[in-house]
Structure 1
Amino acid sequence: MQTATPLPIGPILFLDTIAEGQLRLAALFLTPRGEEPAPVLVAGEEVRAQRLAHFDAATAWRVRFALPADRASSYRWDGQDYEVAGDVGGDLRLAYVSCNGEEVGDMEREGSERNAMWARLREEHRKSPFALLLHGGDQVYADEVTQGHELSHDWPEKVPRDPSQAALADLRHHLRERFLGRYAALYAAPEVAWVMARVPSLMQWDDHDICDGWGSLRRSRTYSPVGQTLFSAAREAFLIFQQAATEGDLPLRFADREGHHLGWSVAAPELRILAPDLRSERTRRQVMGSGGWAMMETEAARDMAGHRLLLSSVPLLGPRLSILEALMVAVPRMQKYEDDLRDQWQSRAHRDEWRRMLRLVRNLARRDGHDITAVSGEIHLATRAVMDLGDGLRLNQLVASGIAHRAPPRGWARFLHALAWLGEDPLPENPIRVERIPGQRLRYVAERNYLLLERSGGAWHARWDLEASGMTEPLSLG
């Protein structure tokens, strides 16, 4: 299959890890099949590409190299210099994005409308560069990749029981090519490409990177041969296009080098970024499996100075969604939305696990003596919440969603604002409050947005760039 997006594409820059005073980086390239991209030039030395994967008409390549982690620098490719902010040890800026697409018709959207907030992010970087770009899930909306093949066209409503191995192999080929098409279109967009060639990205996945509601669908769907083929193809695409990696060759920041779960962490001076995987081991009854929890328990025992930033693809704190979940189950017309609510930590199905995670976060904060910031996407709104952790400590939950997904109706934001009045305290000794973003009347803001996280003089602040309302005033994170 020929991708509709012109090739080559790249460089797309990823952070492998930070070690020995260096940013260990990987640059992703997509070329016409078999055509090797030009080498990357770093400090006068050429670094050639390594092939990651072949597709029908394209090849994915990776170039790994290092730049200083204490100052700005650059690399050169195909006659052009790319400046990288680099310094992660002093004052710095991070950007956070999520929900980069829509469920239906995303590839047909007009580019300047779709990527308007990416254009704003690009201008922010030009004014004051970002050291890292954090992606909190749903980097692509792959829900339509199943269409056009007889085994998956009616997914997930109808799933063949016993397809042949030849049919499954043909399905996998179909899915791989369509995942390629999604990622190629995303990375070719000029607003996205400019930023991602200059700011190293760190990504975690959520359901739409696989399919809508993955892990919250019925086991008869996700564990079927078609479901497992879909997950396998999505996982391969996630590794190639969101990590510049392949099976058995994960960057050092991943907790499980075998890849049974895809959680990772990165340490910089006075900062640790922790991103558990909330999809690989997810079922209708659990958010994380043994691997994910082992990673989190290891983190809870780790001594660390400075600020912890926890990426939770679905928000850790929010309103009492269990009421809405019960209502949807009871009303037949609303049952199609049950999977969306089961995706949340607040779901009745995950309540014990939610408490476990909140206790772990509380223990992390008390061990370090620092507040913790959780950053999430997923809900297509901007909001924030605070949990009192005791001992003068707090968990700040910041939600920025989405950068490309159009906002839901304002009535939904008003409904959630009202629902937040009821409160939700899974740990009664640690109350939760859903708070307003600076300058906003409601607790939930129905505008496209992204988030800035800034450290200045050792103090952390957050600001949202809201599509209609503009940049908010800084919010202190302690």
Structure 2
Amino acid sequence: MFPRPEVIALSAELVIGPVLRRVVGTRATVWVETSAPATVRVSAGPAAGEAQTFRAYGHHYAIVVVEGLTPGGATPYEVLLDGASVWPDPRSPYPPSVIRTREGDGTDQPVRLVFGSCRETTQHATPRRLPPDALDAYSRRLMTGAETAPDLLLLLGDQVYADIPSPAVKRFLRRRRRGHAARPQAPEDQVVSYEEYTRLYLESWRDPEIRWLFATVPSVMIFDDHEIIDDWNSSASWRREVHQQPWWPERIASGLASYWVYQHLGNLAPDQIAADPVYQKVIAAADDATEVLREFGTAVGGPPSAVPGIAGDGRHPEGDGTPVYQWSYALDLGRTRVVVLDNRCSRVLDPDHRAMLPPDEWAWFAEQARGDFDHLVVGSSLPWLLPPGIHHLEAWNERLAGSDRPGWPPSPSGSAGRSTWSTGRRSSAPSTRSPRSSPRSARPAPRRSACSPATCTTRTWPAPPSATGRSPRPCTS
């Protein structure tokens, strides 16, 4: 008689993270991906927090709210899965990861932001031997203590490239799709499924320097086009054409679902996370939230109602232009307010009423731009102020791309490749007054009335290019 085999429970491991996201007063949020279901605990001195992982598409995630941090401190922290320490790695040559808190919201302590965008991948994943990209280099400078640690890292789009993956990811796609005829018309070298999206984040965020930086500096993010596809939502004709592709429904649903999990969830403050309707549904279905996220991704990326003759576009069925879900967000750091705008997903593409933000979201933005703070920083994945010549050129291109003029071959984007976006022939954007000066020094500006800030500045694509990505740049207010 054979002995009964013993069931060996495999312990959970850290796959990606920890990623330090928001630090709000004496609380902080830490995001992780794990290899199996687990109880995730983050301990930072006397402060601590705990959360159960949720499962989606066969992957396991958690976002932990750490409570009771000391104001004005820099506290090393530890991550435990089911009681076993998994971070920091005792073999790591890097300094300890810490959670830094500000002295208090009412102080005149300067605010330091670092921002950048368009990080394609690492030097190890490219066919060319290139020096470290700017984010890697910044991480190394921070490790030496030569650079003052910022309050926030602001990533303004293209954190991953679904349409331009690295050679390593292309090999993964070929291996994974070999022998499967489920997606014969899918782009050969582009990601489509959620599982393929996870490979992009795994490759980029497991880079040792980036992993340390993300574990040490709070970060917020917003998508641009390459999280989905080049020139995403550039025009009504573009959307009409791309929605005819058989692989597109899975691509847009997977791209937005993975963006919500890997990037957007951490943009929210602790109280906002608890109140987020998608998070509530995910936690309620924690054993397997795949269907919740698939339905969500489909709803927010659905076919465009703003295009005549097509119903639904991720907006409420009443047709009032209100998005089903708001990706834009705002946060306060001392006397500085940061507002980060969704310039991609919620665009109004009706050729006669084009707008970068739908009416309700524009009203929200205008409200966020007023308040009892000294400095306003607006984050955008796109340039919002262009020379008139560029604007008119793009408007001309938009009209040609949307016409049936013979001699113009169809293209996947419905327009010439571009990263900016003109208002076209007509555009609806409520006018609002905003401050014109920009902060240039670490000295706080004098207090203003509650109706307007003393300074206003915009952080946007592009930042100066580096070897493999655009450089992070400091901004002090």
Aligned pair 1:27/2:30, yes or no? yes
Q: CA deviation at 1:100?
A: 1.2
Determine whether 1:449 maps to 2:471. Answer: yes
Residue 202 of structure 2 is aligned to residue 184 of structure 1: yes
Counterpart in the other structure of 2:391? 322
> Relative to 1, partners in 2 of residues 1:49 and 1:106: Cα closer, same or farther, differing over 3 Å?
farther
In 2, the alpha carbon distance for the partners of 1:350 and 1:151 equals: 39
Compute the displacement of 1:293 (Å): 1.7
1-structure distance, mates of 2:411, 2:328: 31
Match of 2:427 in 1: 352
Secondary structure, in 3 states, of the residue corresponding to 1:113?
Answer: coil
Q: Deviations over 1:41-78 (max 9, x none)?
A: 1334553343233344x422322214345333332233
Q: Residue 475 of structure 2 aligns to which amino acid in structure 1?
A: L
C-alpha distance in structure 2 between counterparts of 1:221 and 1:250, whole Å: 40
Q: Which residue of 2 aligns with 1:137?
A: 157
SS of the counterpart of 1:286? coil
- How big is each residue's C-alpha offset from its partner over 1:366-385, in whole Å with a ceiling of 9 and x where there is no partner? 941523100001x4xxxxxx
CA contact (8 A) 1:100 1:404 kept: no
Matches within 5 A, 1:174-323: 175-216=193-234, 218-224=238-244, 226-244=247-265, 252=272, 260-284=325-349, 285-300=354-369, 302-319=370-387, 320-323=389-392
Q: Which moved more, 1:272-281 or 1:145-154?
A: 145-154
Superposed displacement of residue 91, structure 1: 2.5
Structure 2: state its 5+ residue gaps: 1-12, 80-84, 89-95, 279-323, 401-406, 438-448
In structure 2, distance between residues paired with 1:369 and 1:60: 38
Report the CA distance between 1:135 and its aligned residue.
0.7
Secondary structure in 2 aligned to 1:150? coil
Could you say which residue in structure 2 is the equivalent of 1:65? 66
- Counterpart residue number, 2:183: 150
Structure 2-normalised TM-score? Answer: 0.64
Q: What is aligned with 1:434? A: none
For residues 372 and 27 of structure 1, the distance between their equivalents in structure 2, rounded to whole angstroms, comes to 30
Deviations 1:94-151 (A, max 9, x none): 110101117xx99831698374312321134332111111111111111157975626
Q: How many Å separate the matches in 2 of 1:50 and 1:268?
A: 29
Aligned pairs, number: 359
1:306-361 per-residue CA deviation (whole Å, 9 max, x = no partner) reads: 1000001101123331344367576958978874667524x1427634xx36x335
Alignment partner, residue 10 of structure 2: none
1:192 Cα shift?
Answer: 0.8
Cα distance 1:297–1:233, how it changes in 2: closer, same or farther (>3 A)? same
| 1:239 Cα deviation after fit | 1.4
Whole-Å separation in 2 of the counterparts to 1:305 and 1:364: 16
How far apart in 2 are the matches of 1:155 and 1:340?
A: 22
Quote the Cα distance in structure 2 between the aligned partners of 1:344 and 1:274: 20
SS at match of 2:261: helix
CA contact (8 A) 2:435 2:456 kept: no
Structure showing the higher strand proportion among its residues: 1
SS in 2 for 1:360: coil
Q: TM-score, normalised by structure 1?
A: 0.64
**Match for 2:126 among 81, 95, 109?**
109
Relative distance call for 1:350 and 1:450 in structure 2 (3 A) is farther
Partner of 1:99 in structure 2? 118
What SS is found at the alignment partner of 1:453?
Answer: strand
What secondary structure, in the 3-state scheme, does the structure 2 residue paired with 1:119 have? helix
Counterpart of 1:150, as a letter, is R
Residues 1:75 and 2:93 are matched in the alignment = no
Which range is displaced more, 181-190 or 330-339? 330-339
How far off its partner does 1:364 sit? 9.5
User: Over alpha carbons, which structure has the higher Rg?
Assistant: 2
Match of 2:101 among 56, 65, 86: 86
Is contact 2:374–2:453 with CA below 8 Å preserved after alignment? no
The one-letter amino acid of 1:60's match is: Y
Q: Structure 1 residues 152 and 61, CA, compared in 2 at 3 Å: closer, same or farther?
A: farther
Larger relative contact order (CA 8 Å, sep ≥ 6): 2
Counting only pairs closer than 5 Å after superposition, residues 312-391 of structure 1 correspond to structure 2 as: 312-319=380-387, 320-325=389-394, 332=408, 339=415, 343-345=419-421, 347-349=422-424, 352-353=427-428, 356=429, 359-360=431-432, 362=434, 367-368=451-452, 370-377=454-461, 379=462
Would you say the 8 A contact 1:214–1:279 is kept in 2?
Answer: yes
- Check whether the contact 1:222–1:228 (CA below 8 A) recurs between aligned residues: no
Could you tell me which residue of structure 2 aligns to residue 395 of structure 1?
A: none
Aligned counterpart, 2:135: 118
Mapped partners of 2:277, 2:196: distance in 1: 27
Structure 1: any 5+ residue segments left out of the alignment?
A: 1-5, 158-170, 380-399, 407-447, 455-459, 461-478
Structure 2 letter corresponding to 1:270? R
Matched to 1:9, the amino acid is I
Distance 2:364 2:37 in 1: 39
SS in 2 for 1:281: coil
SS in 2 for 1:196: helix
The Cα shift of 1:296 comes to 1.3
Alpha carbons 1:114, 1:404 under 8 Å: kept: yes
Report what 1:421 is aligned to. none
The alpha-carbon distance between structure 1 residues 342 and 49, as it changes in their structure 2 partners (threshold 3 A), is same
Distance 2:419 2:425 in 1: 9
Q: Closer, same or farther in 2 for the Cα pair 1:255/1:211, shift >3 Å? A: farther
How many angstroms does 1:85 deviate by? 3.2
Q: Are the counterparts in 2 of residues 254 and 264 from structure 1 also a CA contact under 8 Å?
A: no
Deviation for aligned residue 1:175: 0.9
2:7 paired residue number: none
Indicate the percent of aligned positions where both proteins have the same amino acid: 21
2:4 maps to which residue?
none
Tell me: CA distance 1:323–1:337, structure 2 relative to 1, closer, same or farther (3 Å).
farther
Distance 1:191 1:235, change over 3 A: same
8 Å contact from structure 1 (residues 287, 350) kept in 2: no
Cα 1:10–1:114 shift into 2, 3 Å:
farther
The verdict on how the C-alpha distance between 1:202 and 1:245 changes in structure 2, with shifts beyond 3 A counting, is closer
